[in-house]
């Protein structure tokens, strides 16, 4: 994440005229209906405590300030609660616009490491929150359930299917899965060495 | 109501792997109400809508659609107790039925594993199964331990009912369905100002910056206290439950503020109201109790509290 490198001054003639079309194509088709009323930001619980400003992001996106928008840290403070979407008088669906902009950010290499890790978990274990310790199995037994549930945790063939479809869609390369797993392996070895 | 409705039980990640008491309570409650739950063998992560939907929409929809094809093969609707899982499965089912281009891209990916999205099944949340299939009257009839005088704050969460123009289920500014299901337990609904704000965990925010996400949670807790406090907080989502339950431990760590709320999933509340004891579904395994070594305040519900046995569990 390189938001620290953001320029203080926006050079507004460096516009990306393709950006709006990208957003519309990926999943924010109504972005151009925005008339900047600010209902979204006024409803936003993330904006109430961080510098995340939905209206501002949409305005910048419409101006074609792509690099500025996709590199900003605050883009990742939206909890996707959809309050703005339910209140927007223009049906801009700001939540979908934000998700589409995040898609562009990830495609251009702006992905937080913890997010990379969650994405890798799904390819590795079939689950973003996996059954990765014996203590979780014990917790299941304690409530009177089988230690391993019938989902992907007990069915390696399901994980294999996820690997095939994420490889086909290019998602594994997008998140840098192999490099990430290699780095994790290195870290593990380092820790073992330290004892 | 259809006779003995059958659902594929989509477990997701948080229920089976972190809050298994919800899974067990759901089994008890659905059986008590004559609704059958079938294993959805080989289901994966939904995958988390605000997380994977934010990374790459087509892969999000492909992994979700793969889960849908498992249910399509058996021909029964899905039910899930997680707002996030519900959003991924319901939204992708909806989008794939209406977006020809997305469907083509998804089926092209699914062809790699010999699957195809057909769009033949419906996706429900436990709350829908309870409200639409069992019905509030049937739930009330089954209650043997009514929680009269118990103060209950609700956290409906977001993705079960939003976006309202697409989901067309409840008024997201004045929702009543989840409230009616919870009130069937006999508990007293406590309105509070911030009932409808997000728990703070969604959209990959908990992963990106846990302190920001906990700041949402604290606002909710403070709002409940301002409304006179509550004996329990009830939610229809295990990820919200994790944020509200384990979140209290994290808030203590990061902000040195101490809250003591007992948090339950709606099926855990109903299991108790139906006369099941907390030990029958392991209610004391909630991560707050396991990690803080504190005692639940269930005396306020008229339930005797036994000291939970130690199980080593850590995040």
CA B232 remoteness from chain centre: 16
What does the alpha-carbon distance between residue B237 and residue B22 come to, in Å, rounded to a whole number?
Answer: 10
- Helix A113-125 × helix A156-168 angle, to 10°: 130
CB B205 to CB A145 under 8 A?
Answer: no
| Same domain as A186, residue A120 | yes
* CATH architecture observed for domain B145-301: 3-Layer(aba) Sandwich (3.40)
Q: Which of A70, A90, A107 is the last residue of a domain?
A: A107
Cβ distance B108 to B96 under 8 Å?
Answer: no
If one counts the domains in chain A, the total is 2
pLDDT at B295: 83
Round to whole Å and give the CA distance between B66 and B42: 10
The reply to whether residue B112 touches residue A152, judged by beta carbons under 8 angstroms, is no
Domain ranges, residue A159? 113-194
Q: Is the pLDDT of residue A13 over 70?
A: no
One domain, residues A103 and A117 = no
Average confidence (pLDDT) over B154-165: 97
Closest Cα of chain B to A5: distance in Å? 19
Answer whether B81 touches A (CB < 8 Å): no
Q: What is the side-by-side strand order in the sheet with B232-235? A: B188-189, B151-154, B232-235, B262-265
Q: A96 and A141: one domain?
A: no
Q: Which run of H or E residues covers position B157?
A: none
Interface of B with A in 35-54 (CB under 8 A): 39-45, 47-54
To test the contact with chain A by mutation, choose from B37, B160, B196, B203 the residue with the greatest count of A C-beta atoms within 10 A, namely B203
User: Is the Cβ pair A49, B52 closer than 8 Å?
Assistant: no
pLDDT digits (tens, 9 = 90+) for B7-20: 999 999 999 999 99
Residues A11 and A86 in one domain: yes
Do β-strands B123-125 and B151-154 pair in parallel, antiparallel, or remain unpaired? Answer: unpaired
- A145 and A82 in one domain? no
> So what's the pLDDT on residue B4?
86
**What per-residue confidence (pLDDT) applies to A171?**
98
Chain mean pLDDT for chain B: 95
ipTM: 0.94
Q: For CATH 1.20.1050.140, list the domain ranges present in chain B.
A: 6-126
Among chain B residues, the shortest Cα distance to A172 is held by B59
For B194-226, how does the pLDDT look when each residue is reduced to its tens digit (9 = 90+)?
999 999 999 999 999 999 999 999 999 999 999
Q: Which of B65, B118, B73, B90 is nearest to A169 (CA)?
A: B65
| Residue contact A118–B201, C-beta within 8 A | no
Question: What pLDDT is recorded for position A19?
Answer: 97
Residues A92, A121, single domain; the answer is no
Q: Examine the domain organization and report whether A100 and A8 are in the same domain.
A: yes
Asked if residue A3 has pLDDT above 60, the reply is no
What is the Cα–Cα distance from B297 to A116, expressed in whole angstroms? Answer: 39
CATH 1.20.1050.140 describes domain B6-126: yes
A122 near B CB under 8 A: yes
């Amino acid at each position: 994440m390189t938001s620290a490198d953001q320029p203080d001054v926006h050079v507004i003639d460096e516009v990306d005229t393709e950006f709006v079309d990208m957003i519309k194509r990926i999943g924010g088709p109504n972005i151009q209906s925005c008339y900047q009323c600010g209902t979204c930001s006024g409803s936003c619980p993330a904006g109430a405590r961080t510098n995340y400003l939905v209206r501002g992001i949409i305005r910048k996106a419409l101006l074609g300030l792509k690099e500025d928008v996709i590199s900003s840290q605050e883009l990742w403070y939206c909890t996707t609660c959809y309050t703005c979407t339910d209140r927007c008088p223009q049906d801009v669906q700001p939540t979908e616009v934000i998700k589409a902009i995040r898609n562009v950010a990830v495609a251009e290499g702006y992905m937080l490491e913890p997010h990379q890790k969650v994405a890798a978990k799904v390819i590795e274990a079939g689950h973003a929150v996996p059954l990765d310790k014996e203590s979780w199995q014990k917790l299941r037994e304690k409530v009177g359930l089988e230690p391993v549930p019938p989902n992907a945790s007990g069915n390696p063939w399901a994980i294999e299917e996820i690997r095939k479809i994420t490889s086909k869609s290019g998602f594994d390369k997008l998140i840098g899965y192999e490099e990430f797993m290699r780095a994790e392996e290195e870290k593990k070895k380092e820790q073992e060495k330290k004892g | 109501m259809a006779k003995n409705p059958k659902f594929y039980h989509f477990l997701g990640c948080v229920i089976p792997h972190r809050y298994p008491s919800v899974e067990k309570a759901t089994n008890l409650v659905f059986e008590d109400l004559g609704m059958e739950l079938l294993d959805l063998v080989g289901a994966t992560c939904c995958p988390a809508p605000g997380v994977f939907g934010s990374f790459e929409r087509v892969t999000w929809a492909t992994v979700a659609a793969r889960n849908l094809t498992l249910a399509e093969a058996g021909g029964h609707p899905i039910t899930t107790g997680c707002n996030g899982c519900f959003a991924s499965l319901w939204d992708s089912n909806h989008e794939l039925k209406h977006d020809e281009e997305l469907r083509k891209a998804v089926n092209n990916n699914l062809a790699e594993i010999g699957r195809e999205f057909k769009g033949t099944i419906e996706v429900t949340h436990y709350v829908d199964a309870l409200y639409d299939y069992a019905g509030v009257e049937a739930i009330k009839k089954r209650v043997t331990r009514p929680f009269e005088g118990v103060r209950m704050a609700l956290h409906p969460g977001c993705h079960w009912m939003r976006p309202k123009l697409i989901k067309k289920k409840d008024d997201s500014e004045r929702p009543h369905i989840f409230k009616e299901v919870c009130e069937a337990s006999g508990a007293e609904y406590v309105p509070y100002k911030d009932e409808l704000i997000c728990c703070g965990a969604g959209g990959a925010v908990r992963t990106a910056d846990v302190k920001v996400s906990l700041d949402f949670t604290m606002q909710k807790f403070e709002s409940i206290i301002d409304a006179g406090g509550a004996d329990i907080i009830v939610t229809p989502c295990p990820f919200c439950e994790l944020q509200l339950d384990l979140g209290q431990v994290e808030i203590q760590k990061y902000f040195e503020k101490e809250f003591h709320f007992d948090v339950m999933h709606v099926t855990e509340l109903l299991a108790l109201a139906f006369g099941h004891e907390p030990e029958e579904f392991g209610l004391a395994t909630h991560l707050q109790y396991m990690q803080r070594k504190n005692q639940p305040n269930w005396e306020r519900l008229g339930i005797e509290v036994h000291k939970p046995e130690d199980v080593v569990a850590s995040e």
